[in-house]
Amino acid sequence: MSDFIHSRRRAILGLTATIAAIRAVAAVQPPPPDQPPPRPDQLANPARPAVPPVGDISTPLPATAIGAIAFDGFTVFDPRPVLEAAESMLPGKGRELFAAWRVRIFEYTWLRTLTNTYADFWQVTEDALNFTLATMQPDLPEAQRKNLLDGWLLIKAWPDALPALQRLKQRGIKLAFLSDLSASHLDTWIANSGLQGLFESHLSTDLVSAYKPDPRAYQMAIDTFALPRNQIVFAAFGGWDVAGAKNFGYPTFWVNRANANAEELGVRADGVGRTLADFAAFVEQMSPAMTR
């Protein structure tokens, strides 16, 4: 019984931490065309605790040969088309609906993992939308509900993704997604973005029927690449994923696109930045002797 209580307590801590991160993502505003995303110091709110600065190396790491990188999907792909679809259908309420929907998605992934009732990400996303609409907008026509779901199929890469990924690939590092998303979704987004040929086979949680931050999910990279964990870098989008990967033992970089505060879960990322260019620089610092 004590093990069950402890596992539930850990789950509740994870849920609480991630709600703040997801709400921060929903608040991200797209930059004007041809303008890079603002730096954290340009966005910082004096009333908030300081966010980790771009380029911050929280834990100096020894130089090592990095053989592989595991990416959370949203470090590469921009989810804001779903937010834009929600706001266009429900002006003034779309952002709130999107934030609530994303919170429910991640709550469902963790609850399904804890209860051994795994369903793929698309099913979880649809279930979470149905719950959110029943709570906030029960009279939304079916066609608009479908359009909200279809917004997930329109997602493309962040503008900084392609050059950074090419930069890492040229160093001979294997790149793969270690993601809650199904392989079919990742393939669609890769095709939308022109990123074909850059990634190894997808490490979808569908393969182990357990969502992150369950250790079975993170273990996939070790099993696939046959490398020790200190030679596999994990790129996280959410603060909760930073904690999961660090506790598993991966060198971890936080691509903090939402300018969110660090989670209070007892660990910190080894490096923090706003873009994949920042991440590429971090990897190069870790492996200065690697051949370009």
The residue from 34, 41, 56, 72 that is catalytic is: 72
> Whole-angstrom Cα distance, residue 236 to residue 244?
9
Element (H, E) at 7: helix 2-26
The answer to whether 122 touches 205, Cβ cutoff 8 Å, is no
Which amino acid appears at position 102 of this protein? Answer: R
- At 218, list the tokens: 């993170």
The answer to whether 236 touches 245, Cβ cutoff 8 Å, is yes
Q: Order the strands of the 271-273 sheet from edge to edge.
A: 203-204, 174-179, 68-71, 232-236, 252-255, 271-273
Q: Could you confirm whether 72 is annotated as catalytic? A: yes
201-204: Cβ within 8 A, 24+ apart:
201/176, 202/176, 202/177, 203/70, 203/176, 203/177, 203/178, 203/179, 204/177, 204/179, 204/180
- At 108, list the tokens: 């469902």
- At 26, list the tokens: 């929903």
Cis peptide before 53 (omega within 30 of 0): no
Tell me which DSSP letter residue 230 carries: G
Active-site residue list? 72
